[in-house]
């Protein structure tokens, strides 16, 4: 794809260079190419450089071509020509740095790192190169660990041209595009100037203008009013929350000195910020006026973002030595009379030696912006800065939001929806507008109450333990006055929940799992504890013995481990472990068998560390049947099973 606009300086070249230039008087093609490049007319300079190189291969012609392709964001051709440039013995370290930049833009991070190491061996500690080298390493990590979400190219808005910037106003998407705009043109009056209304010399396309769209179909795309879109550039619109103020970047024809047609040296009109107010009676925007800190003959001022209350304007400017680096983010506030106060640089926490671009604040006060002065994927990367007291916590937004090319102009409409622009490969045109729907990472939690089983009243100050079976990690909390407890849960994990309170029989191993859950879920589990009463038997579940056997089976161990925990949680308790049989077999046999089983149960508890003097084993045989199934009474197997039980009784608390 032929890239045709330099996004790293998207509004720096939104300028008008005034000069009378007649190529027929040029003596050499190379000189003509260099002249066009000096006027930022890269679309015209490129074929001239190619002609010069074919006529006589020189490093000047190769470098000119490499630079033209680089400034037009044609990374593949730029890389190819920088390969030729660095092959010349008299190439410069800057050539190596630009070569490394193009390699990164083409995802060739290993090769780029080699070039950067070569460059740093000559210019040790160069901040830009150090950040680029760090970006080569980070990019590989980000690509392996992409942010979860859905990325979509806004096909209904994008064209084969450059479409970028997103603002939503009156339910319409406002964006900039350099697609043809014949309806705006009037009769030419720069007949002897190199300033052309039909095309922008940097790209060969039309000038940027502001459009609106419903975002649903291409037929809805419309130009904004003529007083907003002049003959030259208009871009990066921003609106106050009440919809009555609009700010945007533009290039507007300004006269320097007595004349701008051929009677003085060439000069540049830099981009400026324009402000306009809504005429509520007519519903139309009034004639725009200039932001007071524009310096169109000296510096570029653009990328405006107005806060919801209309009282603070954030913008980007290249104020030369007054700034931290290239283009910095500034802000200006209105005073009590409504006038804009002196701009304030956001400082070195945000601004770098590189370029910062396109600031935007979300509803939570987080600053989103683009930068090429931090470790990134290759060109401009998108970052978010979260306020933390007097500092900012800054994070690269990672893949797939960022790419090896330029990613910029963030706009966050909702918590999980991020619009941004990119000239990444495989787009519909040059720059395209994208929407990224962030997939919420499921959050799992467990909440519940500890309640008295008999009264259903909450039990305060009970200890609730959650054991993660996957990590063997226990978490403990104490219930509040309402008996509440809560835990955060990991994904795809099994847990065992237990509740303990002095004077109550503890409950253990309540199963909880997040396996199979893929959406945010709160699991509700209440724990019912039964008050432990002296001399009242409590039946244990799942304590079984083989026929005519009294050894503890493996499937009985978990239930007995609950008794171990109960006794550990209540160290003063003394209990009787009792075993019962059904009425089948002789009374004597059943009494002996139950005694052996009770003794086996006590020995198991002792093997788990419970003191022997706290335990009593008692076999009751068939003397304490719970139903009618005595000797000679016909009963079902299920009825007999009710009598074959193991119990514990608290003898002393």
| Residue 476, in any domain of the structure | yes
Q: Which domain covers residue 479, as residue numbers?
A: 444-531
**Model pLDDT, residue 547:** 65
Split at pLDDT 50, 70, 90, the class of 257 is: low
Residue 394 has pLDDT above 60, yes or no: yes
When the pLDDT of each residue in the chain is averaged and rounded to a whole number, the result is: 88
Give a yes or no: residue 436 inside a domain: no
Reply yes or no on whether the pLDDT at 62 is more than 50: yes
CATH number where 522 lies: 2.60.40.1120
Look at residues 314, 345, 369 and tell me which one is the last residue of a structural domain.
Answer: 369
Has residue 150 been placed in a domain?
A: no
Pairing of strands 521-524, 494-500: unpaired
285-294: long-range pairs with CB below 8 Å, 24+ = 285/225, 285/227, 285/228, 285/246, 286/227, 287/227, 288/227, 288/228, 288/248, 288/250, 290/252, 291/247, 291/315, 291/340, 292/339, 292/340, 293/317, 293/332, 293/340, 293/342, 293/343
CATH code at position 140: 1.25.40.10
Do 625 and 509 share a structural domain?
A: no
- Check whether residue 223 and residue 345 sit in a common domain: yes
In tens, the pLDDT along 197-226 reads: 556 778 888 889 999 999 888 889 999 988
Torsion over CA of 308, 237, 315 and 435, rounded to 10 degrees? 80
For residue 568, the model assigns a pLDDT of 86
Question: Is the domain of 187 the same as that of 108?
Answer: no
**Any domain includes 197:** yes
Same structural domain for residues 26 and 171?
no
Question: Read out DSSP for 544-602?
Answer: ---TT--SPPTTTHHHHHHHHHHHHHSTT-EEEEEEE--S-S-HHHHHHHHHHHHHHHH
More confident site: 9 or 179: 179
Number of domains in the chain: 4
- Alpha-carbon distance 69 to 267, whole Å? 24
Residue 13 has what pLDDT?
Answer: 40
Q: Cβ atoms within 10 A of the Cβ of 331, count?
A: 16
Asked whether residue 420 is domain-assigned, the answer is: no
Quick one: 202 and 125 in the same domain? no
Number of H helices, E strands in the chain: 10, 36
- pLDDT category, 26, cuts 50, 70, 90? very low
Average confidence (pLDDT) over 220-233 = 90
| Average pLDDT over every residue of 549-557 | 84
Is residue 194's pLDDT more than 50?
Answer: no
118-140 average pLDDT score: 95
Q: For 64-81, what is the mean pLDDT?
A: 94
- Please, which pLDDT band fits residue 266 given cuts at 50, 70 and 90? low
- Tell me what the mean pLDDT of segment 320-347 comes to: 94
Of 606 and 544, the one with more pLDDT:
606
Mean pLDDT of 480-502: 93
pLDDT tier at 58, thresholds 50, 70, 90: very high
Please check whether residues 188 and 310 belong to one and the same domain. yes
**Percent of the chain with pLDDT strictly greater than 90:** 68
Q: Residue 330: is its pLDDT beyond 90?
A: yes
Q: Is residue 444 a contact partner of residue 514, using CB atoms and an 8 Å limit? A: yes
Q: How far apart are CA 491 and CA 540, in angstroms?
A: 33
Report the predicted TM-score, pTM, of the whole model to 2 decimal places.
0.69
Q: Is residue 293 domain-shared with residue 313, that is, in the same domain?
A: yes
Q: CA-CA distance, 405 to 104, in Å (whole number)?
A: 8
- Do 587 and 568 fall into the same domain? yes
Q: What is the arithmetic mean of pLDDT over 457-472? A: 93
Q: How confident is the model at residue 502 (pLDDT cuts 50, 70, 90)?
A: confident
- The stretch 17-46 carries a mean pLDDT of 71
Cα separation, 167 vs 173, in Å, equals 6
For the record, the structure tokens of 262 come out as: 């051929």
**In a domain? residue 404:** no
Residue among 180, 154, 219 at smallest CA distance from 422: 154
pLDDT of the residue at 321: 86
Q: 11 with 141, same domain?
A: yes
Q: DSSP assignment, residue 458?
A: B
Assigned domain for 258 exists: yes
Q: What is the mean pLDDT of residues 505-534?
A: 90
Q: How does DSSP classify residue 24?
A: G
DSSP result, 191-225 = TTSS--SS--TTTSSPPPEEEEE-SS-GGG-EE--
User: By C-alpha distance, which of 7, 69, 14, 11 is closest to 37?
Assistant: 69
Q: In terms of domains, do 344 and 201 share one?
A: yes
Average pLDDT value for residue range 623-631: 93
Length of the chain: 653
Report, as an integer, the average pLDDT of 276-291: 93
pLDDT at 72: 92
Q: Indicate the pLDDT class of residue 182, thresholds 50, 70 and 90.
A: low
Mean pLDDT of 277-304: 93
Q: Are residues 62 and 199 in the same domain?
A: no
CA–CA distance, 106 with 82 (Å, rounded to integer):
13
Q: How far apart are CA 637 and CA 653, in angstroms?
A: 37
Whether residue 376 is contained in a domain is answered as: no
Q: What is the mean pLDDT of residues 87-116?
A: 96
Last residue of a domain, one of 94, 111, 145: 145
Query: Could you report the per-residue pLDDT of 403-441, keeping only the tens digit for each?
Result: 999 999 999 987 789 999 999 988 998 999 999 998 888
Spatial CA neighbour of 625 closest among 584, 577, 570: 584
Q: Does one domain contain both 527 and 580? A: no
CATH number at residue 588: 3.30.1330.60
DSSP state of 631: T
Last residue within a domain, chosen from 145, 168, 197: 145
Q: What is the CA radius of gyration of the chain?
A: 39
pLDDT at 442: 87
């Amino acid at each position: 794809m032929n890239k045709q606009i330099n996004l790293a300086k998207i509004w720096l070249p939104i300028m008008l260079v005034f000069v009378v230039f007649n190529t027929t008087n040029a003596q050499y093609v190379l000189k003509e190419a260099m002249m066009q490049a000096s006027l930022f007319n890269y679309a015209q300079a490129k074929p001239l450089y190619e002609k010069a190189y074919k006529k006589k291969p020189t490093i000047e012609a190769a470098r000119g071509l490499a630079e033209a392709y680089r400034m037009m964001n044609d990374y593949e051709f730029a890389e190819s020509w920088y390969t030729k440039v660095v092959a010349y013995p008299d190439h410069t370290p800057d050539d190596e740095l630009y070569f490394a930049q193009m390699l990164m833009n083409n995802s060739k991070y290993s090769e780029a790192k080699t070039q950067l190491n070569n460059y740093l061996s000559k210019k040790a500690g160069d901040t830009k190169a150090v950040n680029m080298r760090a970006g080569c390493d980070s990019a590989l990590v980000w690509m392996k660990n992409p942010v979860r979400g859905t990325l979509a190219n806004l096909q209904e808005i994008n064209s084969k041209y450059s479409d970028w910037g997103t603002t939503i106003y009156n339910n319409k998407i406002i964006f900039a595009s350099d697609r043809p705009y014949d309806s705006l043109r009037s009769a030419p009056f720069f007949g002897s100037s190199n300033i052309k209304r039909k095309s922008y010399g940097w790209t060969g396309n039309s000038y940027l203008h502001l459009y609106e769209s419903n975002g649903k179909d291409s037929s809805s795309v419309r130009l904004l009013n003529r007083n907003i879109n002049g003959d030259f550039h208009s871009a990066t619109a921003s609106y106050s929350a009440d919809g009555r103020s609009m700010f945007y970047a533009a290039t507007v024809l300004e006269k320097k000195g007595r004349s701008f047609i051929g009677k003085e040296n060439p000069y540049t009109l830099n981009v400026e910020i324009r402000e306009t107010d809504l005429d509520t009676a007519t519903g139309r925007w009034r004639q725009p006026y200039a932001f007071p800190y524009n310096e169109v003959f000296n510096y570029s001022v653009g990328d405006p973002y107005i806060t919801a209350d209309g009282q603070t304007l954030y913008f980007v400017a290249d104020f030369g030595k007054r700034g931290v680096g290239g283009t910095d983010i500034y802000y200006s506030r209105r005073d009590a009379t409504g006038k804009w106060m002196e701009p304030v640089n956001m400082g070195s926490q945000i601004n770098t030696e590189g370029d910062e671009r396109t600031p935007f604040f979300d509803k939570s006060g987080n600053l989103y912006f683009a930068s090429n002065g931090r470790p990134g994927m290759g060109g401009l990367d998108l970052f978010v800065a979260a306020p933390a007291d007097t500092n900012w916590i800054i994070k690269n937004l990672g893949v797939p939001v960022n790419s090896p090319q330029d990613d910029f102009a963030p706009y966050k409409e909702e918590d999980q929806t991020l619009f941004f622009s990119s000239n990444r490969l495989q787009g519909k045109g040059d720059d395209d507008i994208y929407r990224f729907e962030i997939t919420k990472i499921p959050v799992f939690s467990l909440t519940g109450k500890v309640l008295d089983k008999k009264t259903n009243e909450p039990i305060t100050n009970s200890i609730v333990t959650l054991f993660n079976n996957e990590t063997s990690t226990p978490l403990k909390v104490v219930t509040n006055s309402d008996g509440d407890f809560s835990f955060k849960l990991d994904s795809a994990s099994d847990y065992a929940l237990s509740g303990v309170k002095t004077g109550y029989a503890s409950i253990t191993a309540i199963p909880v799992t997040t396996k199979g859950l893929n959406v945010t879920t709160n699991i509700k589990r209440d724990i019912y504890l039964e008050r432990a009463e002296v001399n009242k038997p409590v039946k244990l579940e799942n304590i079984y013995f083989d026929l005519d056997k009294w050894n503890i089976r493996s499937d009985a161990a978990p239930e007995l481990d609950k008794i171990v925990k109960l006794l550990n949680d209540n160290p003063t308790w003394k209990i009787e472990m009792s075993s019962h049989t059904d009425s089948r077999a002789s009374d004597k046999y059943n009494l002996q068998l139950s005694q052996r089983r009770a003794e086996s149960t006590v020995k198991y508890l002792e093997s788990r560390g419970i003191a022997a003097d706290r335990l009593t084993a008692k076999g009751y045989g068939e003397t304490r049947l719970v139903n009618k199934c005595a000797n000679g009474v016909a009963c079902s197997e299920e009825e007999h099973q009710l009598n074959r039980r193991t119990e514990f009784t608290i003898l002393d608390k």
